[in-house]
Amino acid sequence: MECATFSKYSWLDFAFSVVGVCTFLFDVGSDLWVATEFYSRGDCFWFGVLVGVMVLSSVVVQLFSWFWFQYDRELEESNAQTSSENVFFNNRVQLFCLLHVFQLGFFCRHVSAMRQGFRVWWRNGVGSEYAIYLTHDLSMLRLIETFCESAPQLTLMTYIMLHNNRARTVQCVSVAASTTSIAWMVVDYHRSLRSFLPDKAKQGWGSSLVYFLWNLLLIGPRMAAVALFTSVLPNYAAFHFLLIWPVLVLWVWRQKTNFMDSPGGEWLYRATVGLIWYFSWFNVAEGRTRGRSVIYHSFMAADGAILLTTWWCYRDPALTQSYASVLLVTLPVAYLLGLLFKSLYYCCFHPKLWRPPVREAGLAEEMPDGQMHVNAASQDGAPSPHPLNKRMASHATHFFSEKEASRTVSKRNWREANNVV
């Protein structure tokens, strides 16, 4: 845990934490409900697939949570200022390890963040920085959980409804819960990353809405195309994923990511990013991102077109007559609208249009649209009083960057970077 100065923890941040807990519980409850329904009706195959997705997603999230807990403990041992603020069971390592083994580490992080947020509100802002620190980790874990579980689950539920040509109430509820989880993750994750940038105060509701829409319009057609392809060639669905996922992981590796603090953790992160990229794009490396974004969307558009064409050729005309033509037109149009909203966001709704970036002396005239200047220590060498979540600061740097000039200071000292939000 390092230090920097960012925005204060607000009542809206606390509300997001509370809603995040409720959304997490609702999502888990709906998953268990669907699994129970499958088992009680004798659909053991779908029961096994659903439980497998839930368990795999939970294990991945718990691994990330445990890696970060270990890293934070090392920092707390070397920083007496933050060791007294540990809300993870007062540094009871064995208890926290046991909770992760029983897949409860993620939930306990939710509870800890909500408890710390309530303490901040009760004490009129005391401990605000540490509450923000906790919410940053949660936003990343929710992103991972969403694309490891909610996105595959939503695709699975859509496929089952297409395969059976009917939809039960429990399936509709599960699809709604997964969609809600994905939508909430987009808003919450964007808010968390922007808190590392001085433009956060100008991120209005209109800008957030457009940001949400272009993500939803790009992710939705992608999941629908995969579900439609699976409905006609179910035996090739895993082959399709295993054909694309290693390529995406290789691309992440080629971008030389440095998000985790151990080689094993870094490969876990790269594998997870490959899974996320199967559904949605986000930036993970320094440098120009426009070219990589164009390559990604072109590749996904071509892959989506192949999936949609395959479904159209192998579908049952009699069973799909009522919706086939609509989907064939709607999905490509929705994807194009998503790209349009993305362009519209950066041209008309970007916070930089309402607040010019502040330039510091000594920086080049060609500045990025948003600027993050993160120091591990103040100019006189003393640490600043605000804990900085290095992991999320790093990801904010890469997620929002188009141009960046950075230098490595040390393993635990952060980079100084200029970024585009």
Please state the φ and ψ torsions of residue 92, each to the nearest 5 degrees.
-80, 90
Q: Which amino acid is at 77?
A: E
CA gyration radius, the chain: 22
- What is residue 160's predicted lDDT score, i.e. its pLDDT? 84
- DSSP SS3 for 123: coil
C-alpha distance from residue 201 to each of 3, 220, 344, 389 (Å): 21, 29, 20, 19
The per-residue DSSP string of 248-288 comes to HHHHHHHTT---SSSHHHHHHHHHHHHHHHTT-----SSS-
From the number of C-beta atoms within 10 Å of its C-beta (0-12, 13-18, 19+), residue 217 rates as buried
159 neighbors 230 (Cβ within 8 angstroms): yes
Yes or no: say if 339 and 210 are a contact pair by the CB < 8 Å rule.
Answer: no
pLDDT at 38: 83
The predicted structure's pLDDT at residue 169: 75
pLDDT tens digits, 275-298: 999 999 888 877 677 788 899 999
Residue type, 281: W
**Would you write out the chain's pLDDT as a tens digit for each of its 421 residues?**
444 444 566 777 777 777 777 877 887 887 888 888 888 988 888 889 889 999 999 999 999 998 888 887 766 554 544 444 444 555 577 888 888 888 888 888 888 888 888 887 777 767 677 777 777 788 888 889 889 988 888 888 888 888 888 777 776 776 766 766 676 677 777 767 776 655 454 556 777 788 888 888 898 899 999 999 999 999 899 999 999 999 999 999 998 888 888 889 999 999 999 999 999 988 887 767 778 889 999 999 999 999 999 999 999 998 888 889 999 999 999 999 999 998 888 788 776 666 554 544 443 333 322 233 333 333 333 344 455 566 666 656 556 554 333 333 333 333 333 333 3
Give the pLDDT confidence score for residue 390 in this predicted structure.
Answer: 61
pLDDT of 309-359, one tens digit each?
A: 999 999 999 888 888 999 999 999 999 999 999 888 878 877 666 655 454
